[in-house]
Structure 1
Amino acid sequence: MRLIPTLAAFCTTASMAVASPEFWSFEWPNTDFETTTVESWVEIMSGGPPKDGIPAIDDPTFVTVAEKPDLTPREPVITLEIEGEVPRAYPIRYLTWHEIVNDVVGGIPVAVTFCPLCNSGITFDRRIADRTLSFGVSGKLRFSDMIMYDRETESWWQQAIGEAIVGDLTGTELVSLPSWMESWEAFSTRNPDGLVMEQPAFNRDYGANPYVQYDSSNRPFLYSGEMPPHDIPALARVVRVGDQAWPLTRLVEAESLSEVGVTLTWSQGQASALDTADIGAGKEVGNVRVRDAEGNDLPHDVMFAFAFHAFWPEGTWMIGN
Structure 2
Amino acid sequence: MVNDVVGGRPVLAAYCYLAELGAVYERTYRSRTFTFGCSGYTYFDPRYWEGKDAFVLWDRETESLWWPVAGNAVSGPMHGEPLRLLDSGLWSQTTWGELKSAHPEAMVLAPGQTMEPPAGWTRYAPEQLKEAKASAVLADSIAPHWGDNSSFGNPKP
TM class by shorter chain equals 0.5 to 0.7
Question: Shift of the alpha carbon at 1:115?
Answer: 1.7
Change (3 A) 1:176 1:149: same
Identity %: 29
Matches within 5 A, 1:64-75: none
- Tell me the alpha carbon deviations over residues 75-100 of structure 1, each in whole angstroms, 9 at most, x when there is no partner: xxxxxxxxxxxxxxxxxxxxxxxxx2
Once residues 131 and 14 of structure 2 are traced to their aligned partners in structure 1, the CA distance between those partners, rounded to angstroms, is 19
Once residues 156 and 83 of structure 2 are traced to their aligned partners in structure 1, the CA distance between those partners, rounded to angstroms, is 21
1:117 partner letter: L
Say which of 76, 92, 99 aligns to 1:180: 92
Change (3 A) 1:185 1:116: closer
Change (3 A) 1:149 1:217: closer
1:113–1:159 contact (8 Å) kept in structure 2: no
- Tell me the alpha carbon deviations over residues 119-139 of structure 1, each in whole angstroms, 9 at most, x when there is no partner: 221211111131110012211
Change (3 A) 1:197 1:103: farther
Matched, 1:224 2:107: no
Question: Shift of the alpha carbon at 1:311?
Answer: 9.0
Change (3 A) 1:175 1:115: same
Once residues 129 and 75 of structure 2 are traced to their aligned partners in structure 1, the CA distance between those partners, rounded to angstroms, is 30
Change (3 A) 1:165 1:220: farther
Question: Shift of the alpha carbon at 1:182?
Answer: 2.0
Matched, 1:155 2:64: yes
Aligned CA-pair RMSD:
3.1
Once residues 128 and 314 of structure 1 are traced to their aligned partners in structure 2, the CA distance between those partners, rounded to angstroms, is 22
Say which of 103, 112, 130 aligns to 1:191: 103
Question: Shift of the alpha carbon at 1:118?
Answer: 1.3
1:138–1:147 contact (8 Å) kept in structure 2: yes
2:70–2:155 contact (8 Å) kept in structure 1: no
Larger Rg: 1 or 2? Answer: 1
1:117–1:221 contact (8 Å) kept in structure 2: no
Please identify runs of 4+ aligned residues in structure 1 that moved more than 4 A. 209-212, 215-218, 220-223, 310-314
Once residues 114 and 157 of structure 1 are traced to their aligned partners in structure 2, the CA distance between those partners, rounded to angstroms, is 14
**Larger deviation, residues 131-140 vs 153-162:** 153-162
Q: Hey, what does 2:54 align to over in structure 1? A: 145
Question: Shift of the alpha carbon at 1:175?
Answer: 1.5
Matches within 5 A, 1:229-244: none
- Unmatched 5+ stretches in structure 1: 1-99, 226-309, 316-321
Once residues 36 and 131 of structure 2 are traced to their aligned partners in structure 1, the CA distance between those partners, rounded to angstroms, is 25
1:163–1:171 contact (8 Å) kept in structure 2: yes
- Unmatched 5+ stretches in structure 2: 45-52, 134-138, 142-151
SS in 2 for 1:189: helix
Say which of 207, 211, 214 aligns to 2:115: 207
Once residues 138 and 112 of structure 1 are traced to their aligned partners in structure 2, the CA distance between those partners, rounded to angstroms, is 16
Once residues 180 and 136 of structure 1 are traced to their aligned partners in structure 2, the CA distance between those partners, rounded to angstroms, is 21
Matches within 5 A, 1:270-309: none
Q: Hey, what does 2:33 align to over in structure 1? A: 132
Matched, 1:107 2:8: yes
1:113 partner letter: A
2:116 partner letter: A
Question: Shift of the alpha carbon at 1:160?
Answer: 2.1
Once residues 149 and 124 of structure 1 are traced to their aligned partners in structure 2, the CA distance between those partners, rounded to angstroms, is 14
Change (3 A) 1:134 1:162: farther
- Tell me the alpha carbon deviations over residues 229-272 of structure 1, each in whole angstroms, 9 at most, x when there is no partner: xxxxxxxxxxxxxxxxxxxxxxxxxxxxxxxxxxxxxxxxxxxx
Which structure has the highest strand share of the two?
1
Aligned residues: 126
Change (3 A) 1:142 1:215: closer
